[in-house]
A = this chain, B = another copy of it.
Amino acid sequence: MTLWVESIGFAAAALTTVSFVPQVVHTLRTRDTRAISLWMYALFSAGVALWGLYGLMIGSWPVITANVITLALASIVLWHKLRERPQSPPG
């Protein structure tokens, strides 16, 4: 794989990973998650975990690195979204 292709991969990985930082900051600052879809972050986190696994299988560092960090960031937003939802009664 040429250096040029690898750098596109790293740039894409960097952008889609870094993009979650402003969302985490926004969520921590505002504590408002109402406009955020719970289903989005649940499905997205599962998908990102699978992307990490896929990266491992094809031995692609841009894919592995990006998705491990993205999973951590997305999980922070998901956690805050889960805490926003009213507690359903036990049992």
Contact = CB atoms under 8 A, between A and B. Distances in A.
Interface in A34-71: 34-44, 46-48, 50-51, 53-54, 57-58, 62
B37 A35 contact: no
Label chain A's interface by main secondary structure: helix
Interface string A1-44: 10001001101111111111011011100101111111111111
Contact of A23 (B32, B40, B50): B40
A8 B40 contact: no
* Interface footprint category on A: 35 or more
A22 B39 contact: yes
Contact of A26 (B16, B22, B32, B35): B35
A44 B16 contact: yes
A23 B37 CA distance: 5
